[in-house]
């Protein structure tokens, strides 16, 4: 035992000095944290931020990957834009044909209206007197049937209207041919007016379809341009929260991202623009 104590006791003062030095160092650190906590936290936050920040190689690889993604997306949208352009061209051709049809229907209606005015003026004059015989009535009936057949052949009256005329439903074959022609031309005028209204509605619908197709094609082209030329704008970088709360948050400098702008169609597109 004397040998053991003689070996250990000389080292006790040195160990005590070491422990006292460590305790003093710990006390100094604790006091520094209490007096100026933000200084040490900012240092720790900067080191953590440096560790979390991607390297230049990672940033370059991410940039190349984003460029490849934008290129693929632009190619897909370009295909859709070309198809939309073909659809817009077809819609414009349909609208042009509908416009020509509406114009032709309007001219036919105007001609029929002029015929009605001319016959109405002629019917206002005294009608020539003819013998009221069965042969005369038969001639008037044949004239009415022939005029109705000619009108139906020209598609000026419907098959149902022709059937009514031939069957005498609502028509009096014994009337004077001038009066019968006036009634027949009025029927033709009413039919052409209805066709003109229908053709005008089809023309308006075709114009709206062509306008929509042109706007879609233009929007897709703008989207292709936006995909190939993204607008870079600054964005707040990753935030590192300190030990005590949000007052220790620091923003990483020079952090930027790219954002693909969605195309927005403004105004009313002309049909010719696609």
pLDDT, tens digit, 9 for 90 and up, residues 113-168 = 998 998 888 777 776 676 678 888 888 888 889 999 998 898 888 999 888 888 88
Burial of 60 (0-12, 13-18, 19+ CB in 10 A): exposed
In whole numbers, what is the pLDDT of the chain averaged over residues? 75
Buried b (16+ CB within 10 A) or exposed e, 45-56: beeebeeeeeee
What pLDDT, on a 0 to 100 scale, did the predictor assign at position 204? 93
- Mean pLDDT score, 8-15: 61
Q: What is the pLDDT of residue 265?
A: 39
pLDDT of residue 258: 37
């Amino acid at each position: 035992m004397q040998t053991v104590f003689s070996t250990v006791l000389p080292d006790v003062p040195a160990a005590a000095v070491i422990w006292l030095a460590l305790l003093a160092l710990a006390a100094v650190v604790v006091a520094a944290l209490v007096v100026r906590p933000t200084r040490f936290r900012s240092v720790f936050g900067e080191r953590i931020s440096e560790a979390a920040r991607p390297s230049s190689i990672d940033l370059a690889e991410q940039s190349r990957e984003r460029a490849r993604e934008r290129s693929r997306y632009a190619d897909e949208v370009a295909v859709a834009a070309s198809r939309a352009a073909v659809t817009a061209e077809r819609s414009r051709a349909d609208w042009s044909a509908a416009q020509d049809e509406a114009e032709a229907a309007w001219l036919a209606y105007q001609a029929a209206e002029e015929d009605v005015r001319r016959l109405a003026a002629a019917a206002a004059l005294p009608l020539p007197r003819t013998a009221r015989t069965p042969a005369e009535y038969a001639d008037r009936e044949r004239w009415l049937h022939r005029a109705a057949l000619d009108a139906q052949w020209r598609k000026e009256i419907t098959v149902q209207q022709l059937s009514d005329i031939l069957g005498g439903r609502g028509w009096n074959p014994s009337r004077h041919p001038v009066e019968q022609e006036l009634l027949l031309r009025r029927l033709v005028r009413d039919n052409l007016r209805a066709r003109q209204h229908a053709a005008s509605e089809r023309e308006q619908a075709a114009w709206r379809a062509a306008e929509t197709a042109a706007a879609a094609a233009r929007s897709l082209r703008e989207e292709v341009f936006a995909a190939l030329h993204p607008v870079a704008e600054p964005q707040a970088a990753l935030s590192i929260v300190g030990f005590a709360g949000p007052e220790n948050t620091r923003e990483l400098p020079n952090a930027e991202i790219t954002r693909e702008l969605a195309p927005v169609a403004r105004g009313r597109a002309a049909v010719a623009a696609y």
